[in-house]
């Protein structure tokens, strides 16, 4: 009984220690806060948005935000060229950005991490074949291929996620392969084999948990990358289609008015910048805090 | 030795690797192990000594069934290791590796590490596994407060204790120790060696102890095999081999043990400047380019292999040299 109590006590204190370490990392906190804002915005969009993001009020087009001359609290961030409430569109737009980011990373990560684990763990011929595939993928310009495919298939949210996911796996594969190569000859892998663990179990239980640090960083980088690519595709008119409120699309729709009402571009641009910054800070922070060496 | 067959036996085992020397140059064959035969009896300790690159660790990997020999066979209780299933084999032969800093998975706690073999072998419920793992950690002398720590919070000696607990949790018959103390401080080395000896008595296991430290081997092992360039050049009861070596390489190894007496300086081993190259094994006796006693026959004819039992030596002139080599009985007592 007393032994069990001290055990649970040690576990609790270890947890407290971990929490304190998380709380002391400035970048992690800022990134986490930005990311949390975006997630809350995306999840609670119907509750937070003051108006319907699709409702057009042609009499109230291109109204300035509340801090500018002529702005009002009726539309805190003003309205766009069709008179839609900009704040509402921004809030709903976070859904698109996060969906694109997560969807792309899920597909790309699944492909890249699998290939990287196989190449790094087995080496030899497997590594040669997979490295060739990665090299072939690296030879393709992402933007051009994405444009071509979207142009051929037609554009929708699903198509954008699929295309980006199938293109953005190379970094996952490269980083995972390198990390696994560094650990595959270590004694704990040999010990697991000597204990009788099967090869899939060794790859998933011994190798993968020890390469999550670098992979996590790639997750955040690629998520940010995908969000920016979606914005670029939408800006070019080949991404998310109107009237869906994508941040990239909002920038595209506002570009005719850049000299007269610059906030139409500045507001979604700033949102995009903050989200990408937040994701990158968060990724770096998590890597710093969870790396066993940093304990 | 006894009436029972050896627990673990190596029969005329060969292992070669292909060494790549770049994209366009032909690969070379590295002969890591060239026809080794050894056996370990129940509850006995076999020492394997030799310099770096002589095939000790390759042999250890084959003894653990991590690699299959190219020729020959590893026999576990008289059955070929290839026919014993991987789980079955691992329940009976377990390793303790050299480097305490890479032997434990950094993501697992100590208790999880020791429980893991039981989980792989589906032994007992979670609580029973935890109890058993905790008991073994007590047995190897790890404090309870370290059970939920991660490996990076432990010292090298503590990690090696955990590695020993992990190896023993399945109650194996044989422990393969590949230089388990060479990465530790001298004061910790003695603790770990004594621990291994105590646990051997308690569990009744056999040990294959691979080392380049002759003093440790003399202290721990009942029998010893000296390896050079992938072959066993001398084997026999430890005391016999140490007291009256019958191979010039063993003699050189014994002479190379440094004594605490600084005044004696560094020993002159008369080994020359040639280094053994396993990709280019010399003809005849593999040791002849470095041997101070070589004669013309040594570079042309392979000497007869060591006898399996008793004190054997793979040298053309074993009998003649044995008389000349007879010197001090113990390694630690000084050199002749």
CATH numbers and ranges of domains, chain B: 8-325 (3.40.50.300)
Contact B212, B49 (CB under 8 A): yes
What is the dihedral sign for C-alpha B274, B275, B280, B285? Answer: positive
What is the structure's pLDDT at B274?
66
What is the structure's pLDDT at B331?
45
The domain total for chain A is 1
Q: What average pLDDT does the segment B25-38 reach?
A: 85
Q: Which residues pair with B231 in a beta bridge?
A: B228
Query: Quick check: is A189 in a domain?
Result: no
Distances (CA, A) of B253 to B98, B100, B222, B268: 21, 26, 18, 11
Q: Which of B20, B84, B93, B106 to mutate to test the interface with A (most CBs of A within 10 A)?
A: B106
Contact A277, A34 (CB under 8 A): yes
- The pLDDT of residue B330 is above 50: no
- The pLDDT of residue B332 is above 50: no
Sheet strands side by side (includes B174-178): B93-96, B174-178, B206-211, B45-49, B223-228, B231-237, B312-313
Does any CB of chain B come closer than 8 Å to the CB of residue A136? no
Cα–Cα distance for residue pair B131/B137, rounded to 1 Å:
10
Q: Which residues pair with B29 in a beta bridge?
A: B18
ipTM of the modeled complex: 0.84
Distances (CA, A) of A91 to A52, A80, A223, A279, A294: 11, 14, 19, 17, 37
Give the orientation angle of helix A247-254 with respect to helix A212-235, to 10 degrees: 30
Query: How close A194 comes to chain B (CA, Å)?
Result: 6
Query: Quick check: is A184 in a domain?
Result: no
Query: Quick check: is A23 in a domain?
Result: no
What is the structure's pLDDT at A287?
78
Does any CB of chain B come closer than 8 Å to the CB of residue A10? yes
Contact A2, A55 (CB under 8 A): no
Count other C-beta atoms under 10 Å from residue B73's C-beta. Answer: 17
Does any CB of chain A come closer than 8 Å to the CB of residue B152? yes
Q: What is the mean pLDDT of each run of 10 residues along chain A (295 residues)?
A: 49 69 82 91 85 80 78 79 85 89 94 95 92 94 89 88 92 94 91 91 92 88 88 84 84 84 87 91 82 52
Contact B25, B5 (CB under 8 A): no
| Chain-centre distance for alpha carbon A163 | 15
What residues of A are in contact with residue B94 (Cβ under 8 Å)? Answer: 194-195
Q: Identify the domain containing residue A283 by its residue range.
A: 34-52+77-107+138-169+211-294
What is the structure's pLDDT at B94?
93
Most confident region among A209-218, B265-274, B312-321 by mean pLDDT: A209-218
């Amino acid at each position: 009984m007393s032994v069990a109590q001290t055990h649970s006590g040690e576990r609790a204190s270890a947890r407290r220690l971990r929490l304190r370490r998380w709380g002391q990392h400035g970048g992690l906190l800022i990134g986490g806060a930005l990311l949390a804002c975006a997630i809350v915005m995306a999840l609670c969009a119907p509750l937070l948005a003051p108006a319907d993001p699709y409702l057009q009020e042609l009499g109230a087009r291109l109204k300035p935000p509340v801090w500018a001359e002529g702005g009002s609290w009726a539309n805190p961030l003003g309205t766009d060229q069709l008179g839609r409430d900009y704040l509402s569109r921004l809030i709903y737009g976070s859904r698109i950005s996060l969906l694109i980011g997560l969807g792309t990373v899920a597909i790309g990560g699944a492909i890249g991490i699998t290939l990287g684990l196989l190449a790094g763990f087995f080496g030899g011929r497997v590594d040669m074949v997979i490295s060739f595939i990665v090299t072939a993928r690296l030879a393709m310009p992402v933007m051009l291929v994405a444009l071509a495919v979207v142009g051929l298939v037609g554009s929708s949210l699903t198509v954008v996620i699929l295309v980006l996911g199938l293109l953005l796996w190379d970094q996952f594969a490269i980083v995972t392969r390198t990390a696994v190569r560094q650990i595959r000859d270590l004694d704990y892998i040999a010990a697991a084999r000597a204990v009788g663990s099967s090869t899939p179990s060794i790859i998933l239980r011994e190798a993968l948990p020890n390469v999550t640090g670098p992979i996590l960083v790639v997750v955040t980088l690629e998520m940010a990358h995908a969000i920016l690519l979606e914005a670029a595709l939408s800006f070019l008119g080949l991404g998310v289609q109107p009237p869906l409120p994508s941040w990239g699309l909002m920038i595209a729709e506002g570009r005719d008015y850049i000299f007269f009402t610059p906030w139409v571009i500045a507001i979604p641009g700033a949102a995009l910048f903050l989200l990408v910054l937040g994701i990158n800070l968060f990724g770096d922070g998590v890597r710093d805090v969870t790396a066993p060496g940093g304990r | 030795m006894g009436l029972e067959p050896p627990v673990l036996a190596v029969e005329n085992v060969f292992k070669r690797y292909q060494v790549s020397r770049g994209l366009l140059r032909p690969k070379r064959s590295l002969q890591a192990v060239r026809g080794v035969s050894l056996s370990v009896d129940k509850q006995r300790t076999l020492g394997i000594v030799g310099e770096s690159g002589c095939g000790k660790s390759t042999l250890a990997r084959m003894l653990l069934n991590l690699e299959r020999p190219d020729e020959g066979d590893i026999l576990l209780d008289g059955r070929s290791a290839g026919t014993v299933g991987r789980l079955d084999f691992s329940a009976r032969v377990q390793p303790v590796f050299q480097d305490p800093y890479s032997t434990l998975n950094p993501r697992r706690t100590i208790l999880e590490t020791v429980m893991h073999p039981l989980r792989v072998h589906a032994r007992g419920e979670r609580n029973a596994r935890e109890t058993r793992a905790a008991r073994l950690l007590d047995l190897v002398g790890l404090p309870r407060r370290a059970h939920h720590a991660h490996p990076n919070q432990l010292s090298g000696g503590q990690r090696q204790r955990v590695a020993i607990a992990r190896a023993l949790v399945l109650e194996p018959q044989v422990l393969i120790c590949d230089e388990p103390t060479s990465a530790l401080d001298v004061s910790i080395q003695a603790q770990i060696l004594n621990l291994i000896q105590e646990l051997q008595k308690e569990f009744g296991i056999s040990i294959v102890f691979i080392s380049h430290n002759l003093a440790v081997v003399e202290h721990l092992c009942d029998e010893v095999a000296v390896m050079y360039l992938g072959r066993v050049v001398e084997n026999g009861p430890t005391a016999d081999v140490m007291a009256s070596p019958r191979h010039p390489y063993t003699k050189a190894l014994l002479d190379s043990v440094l004594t605490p007496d600084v005044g004696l300086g560094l020993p002159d081993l008369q080994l020359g400047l040639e280094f053994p190259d396993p990709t280019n094994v010399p003809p005849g006796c593999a040791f002849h380019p470095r041997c101070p006693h070589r004669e013309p026959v040594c570079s042309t004819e392979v000497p007869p292999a060591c006898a399996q039992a008793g004190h054997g030596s793979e040298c053309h002139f074993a009998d003649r040299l044995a008389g000349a080599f007879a010197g001090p009985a113990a390694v630690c007592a000084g050199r002749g």
